[in-house]
């Protein structure tokens, strides 16, 4: 259901006061809060995808809370804000900490141990990268998998990805600003009907068209690349991509300044010999411009290299490919390749993190390029058990490691594992890192999002965490828009898990 609009003569709440039991409670979209009392409700039908309203409108949706869940509790006064706060059974049953003591308390977005107001964490413990507004992308009986986030002039945002409703798949393109959704376009249902279809990745071109990389499974598996018009999402062209082996379907794509697209996949060159393939296709008609590949140190027998992500520097045509390269029989290392966009030649290779061998596995979760020769890569390190899993993020500039962000660099010590990080770079060279970890909220254990904004030199400009209890969220994608403001695609964990059965899908704009 929609809650009645709250009075607007009160100051907007910060994340640290969202649990305050005042007569009128507002929400950031990730926490279900209402007016007049502390009881939340949710309609059986779930939130509608057609409203296009943001949380700034005064109307909110609950995410994943039961209709008969009573959140009322005794109250007391917060020492920092003077507001009343919940003093009953909280997530942690821990007393609230004092802002400025260096410990991030239950009602604090951040705490850097000082009372300076303009250093990324305010003197009321509000983070500069906390959530400022949300846009509801939830689809009734379906799911909008946001795969590409792109900033548009005028502090606007473009989103593209796969829309799945009742088993039918379309391409969706959304243009929005912080006030709400301006336009939503859906393509025709992907066909033919006797096959199942999946959009693996999308990329929005400078001209506003959308490139889509897809898979179809019927009598045989096929892969395809298509261009859709940004005006009405009509299909301009579609080409079938060659496959050496049905298991090696395309992985990722990126668009050059010309509009040409580069995609990646693994190619089988011989028995037990797989290489990383990257291919450039023309914007006009999808024809091959060049095709190239890279082989790791092992050539022949069990040289099982794997393609992953591709990124293009912005502005410019710096081209980068990331993949997993087999070094020896026990070692697979994440590797960054610099590619000549004109002919596909490999200009250099860098290894951001040496694999110590069979004790862990590396998985590339995200890859992004920024101005000049900056590239950021996020890697999952999968240990022998879940508690040993963690993410690592590395920034390279001119193929030299500039900084890294590990779990030990984060300001929080509780929860594990920290993994599935995403990375985005803005035009100034700042990096937005967002990921998730498993947090114990007392009555429930669920994923929780962490957000860190890094400077080009590796300084943490701000950090915070997002999501509480059964409304905890995960982050499929992140990036920047509007002159360096961060944006996250938040998948609410809710009561039904992640994906189409979860509590909802929200775009969250950060404060800076």
Beta-strand (E) ranges in 19-155? 75-77, 84-86, 131-136, 142-152
SS3 456: coil
pTM above 0.75, yes or no: yes
In CATH terms, the superfamily for domain 131-510 is: TolB, C-terminal domain (2.120.10.30)
Q: What is the pLDDT of residue 484?
A: 86
Q: What is the pLDDT of residue 95?
A: 57
Closest CA to 323 of 250, 249, 243, 264: 264
Cβ-based burial of 377 (10 A; exposed 0-12, middle 13-18, buried ≥19): buried
Query: Would you say 35 and 4 are in contact if contact means Cβ atoms under 8 Å apart?
Result: yes
Q: What is the pLDDT of residue 357?
A: 64
Interacting residues of 82 by C-beta distance below 8 A, sequence separation 6+: none
β-bridge mates for residue 487, sequence order: 479, 509
Query: Would you say 306 and 266 are in contact if contact means Cβ atoms under 8 Å apart?
Result: yes
Q: What is the CA radius of gyration of the chain?
A: 23
Residues in the chain, overall count: 512
Query: Would you say 212 and 187 are in contact if contact means Cβ atoms under 8 Å apart?
Result: no
Q: List average pLDDT for each run of 10 residues in the chain, which is 512 residues long.
A: 27 28 30 27 31 36 32 35 38 63 83 85 91 91 91 93 91 95 95 84 94 87 94 96 82 95 91 90 98 83 86 89 84 90 94 73 92 91 75 91 91 80 93 91 86 94 88 89 90 72 87 82
Q: What is the pLDDT of residue 23?
A: 28
β-bridge mates for residue 29, sequence order: none
User: What are the tokens at 262?
Assistant: 């580069």
SS3 363: strand
Task: Report the run of H or E that residue 49 belongs to, with start and end.
Answer: none
Residue with tokens 């660099």: 409
Query: Would you say 416 and 430 are in contact if contact means Cβ atoms under 8 Å apart?
Result: no
Residue with tokens 């979860």: 502
Q: Report DSSP letters for 235-253, one per residue.
A: EEEEEEEP-SSTT----EE
Q: Rounded to whole angstroms, what are the CA distances from 243 to 220, 294, 295, 330, 381?
A: 11, 17, 18, 27, 29
Q: What is the pLDDT of residue 94?
A: 53
Query: Would you say 5 and 53 are in contact if contact means Cβ atoms under 8 Å apart?
Result: no
Distance between CA atoms of 371 and 487, rounded to whole angstroms? 19
Q: Where are the domains of the chain?
A: 1-99, 131-510
Query: Would you say 226 and 281 are in contact if contact means Cβ atoms under 8 Å apart?
Result: no
Q: Rounded to whole angstroms, what are the CA distances from 42 to 126, 253, 322, 408?
A: 29, 39, 43, 39
Beta-strand (E) ranges in 31-83? 75-77
Closest CA to 42 of 55, 33, 50: 33
Closest CA to 97 of 87, 89, 81, 108: 108
Q: Rounded to whole angstroms, what are the CA distances from 305 to 147, 192, 273, 361, 378?
A: 25, 33, 8, 13, 18
Q: Rounded to whole angstroms, what are the CA distances from 172 to 45, 139, 160, 184, 323?
A: 22, 12, 6, 7, 28
Residue with tokens 């809370």: 65
Distance between CA atoms of 5 and 350, rounded to whole angstroms? 54
Q: Report DSSP letters for 410-450, one per residue.
A: SS--SSS-EEEEEEEE-TTS-EEEEEEEEEE-SS-EEEEEE
Residue with tokens 């869940």: 69
User: What are the tokens at 402?
Assistant: 């500039």
Distance between CA atoms of 3 and 62, rounded to whole angstroms? 9
Q: Report DSSP letters for 291-312, one per residue.
A: EEEE--S--SSSEE-EEEEEEE
Q: What is the pLDDT of residue 417?
A: 74
Interacting residues of 146 by C-beta distance below 8 A, sequence separation 6+: 137, 159, 160, 161, 476, 477, 489, 505, 507
Interacting residues of 242 by C-beta distance below 8 A, sequence separation 6+: none
SS3 409: helix
């Amino acid at each position: 259901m929609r809650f009645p609009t709250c009075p607007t003569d009160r100051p907007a709440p910060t994340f640290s006061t969202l649990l305050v039991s005042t007569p009128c409670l507002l929400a950031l979209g990730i926490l279900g809060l209402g007016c007049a009392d502390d009881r939340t409700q949710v309609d059986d039908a779930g939130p509608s995808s057609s409203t296009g309203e943001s949380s700034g409108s005064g109307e909110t949706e609950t995410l994943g809370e039961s209709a008969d869940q009573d959140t009322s509790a005794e109250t007391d006064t917060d020492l920092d804000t003077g507001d009343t706060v919940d003093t009953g059974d909280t997530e942690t049953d821990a007393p609230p900490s004092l802002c400025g003591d260096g410990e991030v308390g239950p009602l604090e977005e951040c705490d850097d141990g000082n009372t300076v107001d303009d250093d990324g964490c305010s003197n009321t413990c509000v983070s500069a990268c906390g959530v400022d507004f949300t846009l509801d992308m939830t689809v009734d009986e379906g799911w909008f998998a946001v795969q590409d986030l792109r900033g548009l002039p005028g502090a606007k945002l473009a989103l593209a990805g796969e829309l799945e409703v009742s088993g039918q798949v379309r391409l969706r393109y959304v243009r929005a600003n912080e006030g709400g959704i301006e336009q939503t376009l859906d393509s025709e249902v992907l066909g033919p009907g006797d096959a199942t279809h999946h959009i693996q990745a999308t990329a929005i071109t400078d001209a506003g068209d959308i490139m889509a990389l897809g898979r179809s499974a019927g009598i045989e598996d096929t892969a395809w690349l298509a261009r859709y018009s940004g005006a009405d999402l009509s299909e301009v062209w579609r080409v079938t991509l060659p496959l050496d082996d049905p298991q090696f379907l395309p992985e990722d794509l990126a668009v050059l300044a010309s509009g040409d697209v580069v995609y990646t996949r693994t190619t089988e060159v011989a028995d037990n010999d797989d290489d990383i393939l990257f291919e450039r296709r023309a914007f006009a008609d999808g024809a091959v411009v060049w095709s190239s590949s890279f082989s790791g140190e092992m050539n022949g027998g069990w040289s099982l290299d794997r393609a992953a992500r591709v990124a293009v520097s912005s502005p410019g045509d710096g081209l980068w490919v990331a993949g997993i390269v087999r070094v020896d029989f026990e070692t697979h290392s994440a590797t960054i390749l610099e590619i000549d966009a004109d002919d596909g030649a490999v200009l250099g290779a860098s290894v951001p993190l040496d694999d110590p061998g069979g004790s862990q596995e590396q998985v590339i979760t995200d890859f992004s390029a920024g101005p000049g020769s900056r590239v950021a890569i996020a890697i999952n390190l999968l240990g022998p058990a879940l508690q040993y899993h963690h993410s690592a993020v590395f920034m390279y500039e001119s193929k030299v490691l500039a900084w890294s962000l590990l779990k030990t660099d984060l300001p929080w010590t509780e929860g594990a594992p920290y993994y599935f990080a995403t990375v985005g770079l803005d035009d100034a060279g700042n990096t937005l890192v967002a990921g998730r970890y498993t947090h114990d909220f007392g009555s429930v254990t669920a994923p929780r999002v962490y957000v860190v904004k890094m400077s080009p030199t590796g300084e943490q400009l701000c950090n915070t965490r997002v999501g509480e209890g059964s409304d905890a969220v995960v982050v499929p994608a992140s990036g920047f828009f509007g002159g360096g403001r961060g944006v996250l695609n938040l998948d609410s964990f809710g009561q039904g898990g992640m994906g189409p059965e979860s509590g909802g899908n929200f775009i969250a704009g950060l404060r800076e």
